[in-house]
Amino acid sequence: MRAFRIWFWTWFNAWRDKRANLPTPGATTLGSTESEIRATMNSTIALAWGRFRDQAATLEGRRSYLHTLITDQLEPEYARLCALAGRTDVRVSVSPWQHVMLLVAVFAAETFWNTSAFLFQHLSYAFTLTLAALVSLCFAVPADLIGAKTRQWHALPAHSKRQALILCVALAVLVVAGIYGLNTIRRTYNTTVLMVPDSDAFFFACIVINLLGVGAAFAVAWRATDPQPGFVSARSAWVSATYELSEVEKQLDGLNGAFESEQHALVHSAHDWLHFYRRCNRRHRAGVPCYFEDERQPNYLPTFDVFDTRPLHAPSEDKSAVDQSATPRLVPSSTSSESHHVA
């Protein structure tokens, strides 16, 4: 229906102007109807420009924030740690999710093994399992912490080394004491309830099994920790922000491309609109303005107010920020009157 209204309006105005011999044969400027068509299309292009400009402003704000974050904080910190470590890669053989899964596996095995130490208390199975899990947690978490601190020992400053040493020794003593106490309870259960003959070998074997679980947690933490403190988190934050910045850049490029395509389609439809008016207007007329048919005339294809969406920044060759400008990428300009497309 809208297309029909436009067609009828154009045909009616062309017929009316023809009866009034408008535009006059000697005219070099656009007639009133042609000027109205151009004004209508300029308004349509401006509305599209405003819609895309608002979307681009949101993305541009995010891009500017990420660029500032990378260049002012993340990249300098990552470069500092790379200089200290003498490398740019992460030296871990266990990924974070593997670290968590292996630690959970050690915790589950310890819990299953420690459950038998609380059976003689005649508690419910759920309560017994809870006690065993708490004890296993008190073994696995300190072992994990000791493994991480030991892995980064050489890179710690002197005062941090003293604090880490005190912490590790205290935790190690508590873990060993806890294992000894737990197996003492298990030994009592075996001799008083199960009537199993007391055996020092079995008692120390149970302690060794618990120590194996602690050692497994220690080894997992060692393999999952980079020797340089803060290196993994700094690199992860830098990589994540850089990737997000590249995604925002892609969205901006896609937005610019979409606007350019829409703008090109609007200008092309405006030219078709004018040609249709002129075809209707020139019928049965003795003379028409020269710009109706002469492509050399400026108003053969009149100028429309279009907007240049070319990026104001050049892509960077490194992995850091793409540019240092927070200026919006969409800026207004004008097209040539002889061009059928948006520059």
Contacts of 28 (CB under 8 A, 6+ apart): 289, 290, 291, 297, 299
Q: What percent helix, strand, coil does the chain show, rounded to 5?
A: 70, 0, 25
Q: What is the pLDDT of residue 343?
A: 28
**Domains of the chain by residue range:** 20-78+239-332, 92-225
CA distance 85 to 118: 48
Count Cβ neighbours within 10 Å for each residue of 132-148 and write b for 16 or more, e otherwise.
bbebbebbbbbbbbbbb
Are the CB atoms for 218 and 143 separated by under 8 Å? yes
- The answer to whether 108 and 115 are in contact (CB under 8 A) is no
* pLDDT attached to residue 283: 83
C-alpha–C-alpha distance, residues 334 and 343, integer Å: 9
CB contact at 8 A, 13 and 33: yes
Tell me how far CA of residue 7 lies from CA of 2, 14, 100, 296, 302, in angstroms. Answer: 9, 11, 68, 27, 20
pLDDT in tens, the chain (343 residues): 788 888 888 888 888 888 888 888 888 888 888 899 899 989 998 998 888 888 888 999 999 999 999 999 999 999 999 998 888 888 888 888 999 999 999 999 888 888 876 665 566 777 778 878 888 888 888 889 888 888 988 888 777 888 888 888 888 888 888 888 877 877 777 677 666 677 778 788 888 888 898 899 999 999 999 999 889 999 999 999 999 999 999 999 999 888 889 889 989 998 898 889 888 888 877 788 888 887 888 888 888 887 776 644 444 444 443 333 333 333 333 333 333 333 2
